[in-house]
Each structure stands twice: as C-alpha cells, then as structure tokens.
Structure 1
Amino acid sequence: MSTRDLVLAALFAAIIVALGLLPPIYLGFIPVPITAQSLGVMMAGVVLGARRSAVAVLIVLVLVAIGLPVLSGGRGGFAAFVAPTSGFLIGWAFAAFATGFLSERLVHSDQSGLVQTVSFFLAAMIGGIVVLYAFGILYLAFAANIGLTQAFVGSMAFIPGDVIKAFVAALVGRAVMVGYPLLPVRI
C-alpha cells in the first residue's frame, strides 16, 4: 500500500469519525439511535475502493479499541465491541470492502453520469446495507439472545435512513469521480 493510499484511508477514517460528531437521532421505540457514521463507511467504499476503504474503517476500529471516543455519542473502548449492536460495528469493515469491491467492478469512467450514480447506489445498498445488516443482525440475535426474526424485524426501522445514506454516498461517489477519480480501475 502506497503512502497516498494510507493518506486517503486516514482521510476517510477522519471523515467517519467526524460524522460521529453529528448528534444521533433516537426513534423513541427502539433504544438504538440512527447515526451518520455508516454514511462515511459507504462513502469510503464508493470513493476509495475495496482495500483502502477497509483500511479506513480498520483505523477507526483501532481508535475505538484504544479508548478514543470516536463513535457517535462519544463512545469508545472495548465496551463498544461487546454490546449487542457490536456486529454492526465489526460489519463496517466488511461493508466498506464489499461496497468498494462492487464499485470497482460496476463503475467505469466511460459510463454516463446516470449509470455511474446508479452503480454507486447499488454498490452502497448491497455493501452498506445488506452486508452490514448480515453481520449486525446475526450478532444482535446471538448477543441479545433473541431470535433472528426478532433481530431482523427490529433492524428494519433503520432501512429507510440507510437507503437515503446510500443515495448520498452515490452522489458523493459520482462527484468525486467527475472531479478527481480515486476509485481503482478494475477489469
């Protein structure tokens, strides 16, 4: 990995941390808030590609592990990795990688703007929602000792917000692709 790749990964790690400064939105009927940090994970995937976005998320996870309050609500430390929702936190690295992997294969510079935007949106939806929720729901069902169905149904309240985040990530990916493409070219 080059110095440029590490700098870009660190930049997106900082963006993910900065999105944690936005106040969480509590729905009232579920104790888990909606946060903006998963938007940063999706944006890292569509802008940086698979490897660099996964490194960006791993940097954030290391910062959490050493106790820095970089998660939404000022959380940090090993306690963040043993909560019932820790599967979503661990899933960030896999979601970023999957989003980047799909972006690298679906988006090409010779495509129209609409096709690029739709491709980024699909990559963000599959990587940033399907992959992330697979990790999150499985761990939630295990850690909270509830069934998969209950964990799945409880997580569905977050899907509309995540679809909006995927759309925003797609717009960001397209804007960066036009101005200063960073996405690795894959054949």
Structure 2
Amino acid sequence: MKIKELVQTSLIVAVIIVLGIIPPIPLGVIPVPIVMQNLGIMLAGIVLGSRKGTIAVGGFLLLAFLGFPVLSGGQAGPAVFIGPTAGYLLGWLITPLMISYSLSRPFMSHSWGQLIGIWVPGVLIVNVIGEVWLWMVTPISLVGALGSGLLFIPGDTIKAVAVYLVAVRMKMLNRVVSQD
C-alpha cells in the first residue's frame, strides 16, 4: 500500500471508531441495538472501493476481536464474534466489496440505481445475514429474527441516503469502480 492509501484507509477506520462513540440504542425485543457504525462501513465502500474498503473494515474488526473497545457501546473481544451481533459484523466485512461491485454494473449509472447499489448491500444484505445469525444463536425463530430486522430498515435507509449524498458531494461514485 502506498502512504496515501494507508492514510485514507486509516482515516476511514478512525471514522468507523468515532461513530461507535455514539451510544447504541437498544431495541428491547432483540439483543441487537441500533448503531451508527454501519454508516462508516458503507462509507468505506464508497470512499475506498472494494479492496481498500474491505481492508479498512477488516482492520477495524481485527481491532475489535483483539479486545480494543471500538464497537458501539465499547464492545470488544472474541465473544462478540460468536454472539448475537456476529452476523452483522460478517455482513460489514463484505459490504465494501458488494457496494463497489453493485455500483460497477452498467444499470447503476442513474442516481436511483446508485442509491440502490448502496442500500441493497449496505442495508438489506447485512440485515439478512445478521438476522439469520441471530436465529442460529438465540432462541428467536427465523420468522421472528427476520421480522425484528424490519426495525432497522428505516434508520439504515437514512444512513444509506446520507452515504449516497456524501458520495455525490465528493463526486466519488464514478471513481469507486475505476480505483479497484
């Protein structure tokens, strides 16, 4: 990695960590809170592209695994990666790759297509992976887990729109594909 790429990647990791300072909002019905860090995860895919974005998210998750309290609410350690939120973390790891890939499709050149290219991987796929994991490690039924995931859709959609608007403002949507 060049120095510039290393600095960009490190800055996105720092943004994700800072978003974790915002306290998680517990839902009460499931052991997974609403967090702001997924906004940073989607931003990694837009700002850095698939390779560097995945490296940034992987580095962030490695810090969490090693015990650094970088996850929202100060969560950290190996136990987090087998607990109820682990599926969401796995979804986060593949989000930059999926966002970059979806935005590289020719039909995603329109603004609505670009927003969908951020929303589907950054919101829908992450939530489905997280909900399936939740079903596997808790006594919650699959239907209950998938249904509870609907609670995240409105807020996560707002985050995806915010990422899209940042990307448009930074004129980065067209460069995401070309940098990979």
Residue aligning to 2:32? 32
Q: For 1:138 and 1:125, how far apart are their aligned partners in 2?
A: 19
Deviation at 1:56, TM superposition (A): 1.0
CA contact (8 A) 1:105 1:186 kept: no
1:78-132 Cα shifts (integer Å, max 9, x gaps): 1211111210011101122111222344599xx6xxx34x333112211101221
Residue aligning to 1:74? 74
Q: For 2:72 and 2:106, how far apart are their aligned partners in 1?
A: 31
Q: For 1:105 and 1:48, how far apart are their aligned partners in 2?
A: 18
Q: For 2:31 and 2:64, how far apart are their aligned partners in 1?
A: 21
Tell which deviates more after alignment, 92-101 or 66-75: 92-101
SS in 2 for 1:80: helix
SS in 1 for 2:140: coil
RMSD of equivalent CA atoms: 2.5
Distance 1:154 1:84, change over 3 A: same
Residue aligning to 1:85? 85
Residue aligning to 2:11? 11
CA contact (8 A) 1:23 1:35 kept: yes
Match for 2:129 among 135, 139, 142?
Answer: 135
Letter in 2 for 1:149: V
Q: TM-score under structure 1 normalisation? A: 0.85
Report 1:78-117 matches (<5 A): 78-105=78-105, 115-116=110-111
Percent identical: 36
CA contact (8 A) 1:46 1:103 kept: no
Distance 1:12 1:119, change over 3 A: farther
CA contact (8 A) 1:106 1:119 kept: no
CA contact (8 A) 1:67 1:78 kept: yes
In the alignment of these two chains, the number of paired residues is 180
Letter in 1 for 2:150: M
Residue aligning to 2:160? 166
CA contact (8 A) 2:29 2:148 kept: no
Residue aligning to 1:45? 45
Residue aligning to 1:63? 63
SS in 1 for 2:52: helix
Tell which deviates more after alignment, 140-149 or 153-162: 140-149
Q: TM-score under structure 2 normalisation? A: 0.88
Q: For 1:186 and 1:56, how far apart are their aligned partners in 2?
A: 15
